[in-house]
Amino acid sequence: MSTIKGISQPETKHDGSSLRIAIVHARWNKVVIDALLAGAIAKLKESGVKESNIVVESVPGSFELPLACSRVIAGSHIQVASNQTDLLGGLNFSGSMSPMRSGTPAPPPPVNQPFDAVIAIGVLIKGSTMHFEYICDAVSHSLMKIQVDTGVPVIFGVLTALTEDQALERAGIGREKKGHNHGEDWGLAAVEMGSHCKRWA
Ligand code: DLZ
């Protein structure tokens, strides 16, 4: 049976070529995070966002996402332990507030340039305690508050999965059923909301 659920395409395709987008991701449940991150970046680039205007930061877990997003929006620097080499598609993710790089050394990062949108990516998988409920609740409310308070769109890229299989399917890497990569939707949502907010300024 077909389903009525899901997002519909916008009437116009949004052009991301003038946008600067930050992605802040947690490192818990890394296999799923990596797939979501790759999906989000692919759609940002497909929408015209320049590689040099995509900044990727990581934090330990989803609970850390709100503070990190808040600081990234404020233009503060977050120290990342070491440079991360991304294994997906040969992309290199750099450390503190640097644009994404692909192979060649990037020029010094632009400092304090505003972001048009931030994508917060985390994967919460329910365990046997109440941890999941507390973190889901705190993170979702805090991310909403940050976007409303700052006026900068914060895309809710946090999976709140009851099982590992649910998380894998929502990253398009399911075991039985491949599923759909929600990271792609978050990339498109960031471009759409970034464009809208420029118009609504
Ligand atoms: C502690 C914890 C647990 C149990 N589960 C997850 C999870 O499924 N996904 C996630 O992103 N983070 C988890 N964490 C870590 C917390 O988010 C946080 O990093 C720590 O409690 C330290 O503040």
| HSE (side-chain half, CA atoms, 13 Å) at 95 | 7
Q: Inform me whether the pLDDT recorded for 124 exceeds 60.
A: yes
Q: Inform me whether the pLDDT recorded for 20 exceeds 90.
A: yes
- Residue 67 maps to a domain: yes
Tell me the ipTM for this assembly: 0.99
Q: Is the CB of 161 under 6 A from ligand 1?
A: no
pLDDT higher for 12 or 161? Answer: 161
- Residue 2 maps to a domain: no
Residue ID of nearest Cα to ligand 1 atom 7: 124
In this structure, which amino acid lies at residue 10? P
Span 117-124, mean pLDDT? 98
Write out pLDDT tens, residues 39-90.
999 999 999 999 999 999 999 999 999 999 999 999 854 433 333 434 333 3
The pTM of this model reads: 0.86
| Domain CATH code at residue 178 | 3.40.50.960
Q: How confident is the model at residue 102 (pLDDT cuts 50, 70, 90)?
A: low
Total number of domains constituting the chain: 1
- Residue 136 maps to a domain: yes
Write out pLDDT tens, residues 157-188.
999 999 999 999 999 999 999 999 999 999 99
Tokens of 38: 């790759």
Minimum-distance ligand 1 atom for the alpha carbon of 122:
11
What is the distance in angstroms between the CA of the first residue and the CA of the last residue of the chain?
43
Span 123-137, mean pLDDT? 96
Ligand 1 midpoint to CA 184 (Å): 23
Domain that holds residue 83: 21-199
Active site residues: 131
pLDDT higher for 164 or 108? Answer: 164
- Residue 151 maps to a domain: yes
Cα 95 to chain center, whole Å?
Answer: 16
Q: Is the CB of residue 146 less than 8 Å from the CB of residue 66?
A: yes
Query: Measuring CA to CA, which residue among 173, 179, 31, 42 is closest to residue 119?
Result: 42
Q: How confident is the model at residue 36 (pLDDT cuts 50, 70, 90)?
A: very high
pLDDT of res. 83: 39
Q: Are strands 84-85 and 92-93 parallel, antiparallel or unpaired?
A: antiparallel
Helix 131-150 / helix 65-74 crossing angle, nearest 10 deg: 20
Report the mean per-residue pLDDT for the chain: 86
pLDDT of res. 106: 59
32, 37, 131, 159: which to mutate for ligand 1, most atoms within 8 A of CB? Answer: 131
Indicate the DSSP class of residue 63: G
Q: Is the CB of residue 159 less than 8 Å from the CB of residue 149?
A: no
